[in-house]
Amino acid sequence: MQIRFVALPLAVMALALTGCENRSVAQGDTSPISSSSAAIGPIPGTDQPNPLGPIDPYINDVVALQEGRRLFVWYNCYGCHGGHGGGGMGPSLRDQDWIYGDTDADIFNSIAQGRANGMPAWGTRIPQDQIWKIVAYIKSLNTPREPDPPR
């Protein structure tokens, strides 16, 4: 018990000390946050629309679309977003509504970076090439290009 009595204030002090240290480091860093990927919202200081970003090379590739379908199941996307992307735990990918943008790059970033309401960040787990194939599959949903449409 006595040790705990001593330990607690010590731990609080230790936490406070490390907190101060972190803050001083943060204050000292004045460089802008580097941004290599497309933005989701409007960019301040410009009246230009957001750049389109990279275009998915697989959009019309029939073999890649099939592969995108396979990966959509393999990585458990179908459990949240519906067997054929119609939604469920996560929003539908078959409709007109894109919460985080509808460009190829927007969809790529939603997969790679994850989103705050539960979408995991897959960028560290799925190779870029496979993400682009999944993006191509998602963009084909509810179009004549959709492989293995729901029956």
- Judged by the rule CB under 8 A, the positions of this chain that interact with other proteins are 73-76, 78-80, 82-92, 94-95, 97, 115-120, 125, 142, 150
Give residue 121's identity as a one-letter amino acid code: A
| Residue with Cβ nearer other proteins (105 or 119) | 119
Closest CA to 65 of 148, 150, 147: 147
| Residue with Cβ nearer other proteins (90 or 123) | 90
> How far apart are CB 151 and other proteins at their closest, in Å?
8
> How far apart are CB 82 and other proteins at their closest, in Å?
3
| Residue with Cβ nearer other proteins (48 or 96) | 96
- Residue 64 DSSP class: H
> How far apart are CB 119 and other proteins at their closest, in Å?
6
> How far apart are CB 150 and other proteins at their closest, in Å?
5
Q: Annotate 63-79 with b (16+ C-beta within 10 A) or e (fewer).
A: ebbebbbbbbeebebbe
Please give the Cα distance from 119 to 125 (Å, whole number): 14
| Residue with Cβ nearer other proteins (38 or 91) | 91
Backbone angles phi, psi at 69, to 5 degrees: -60, -45
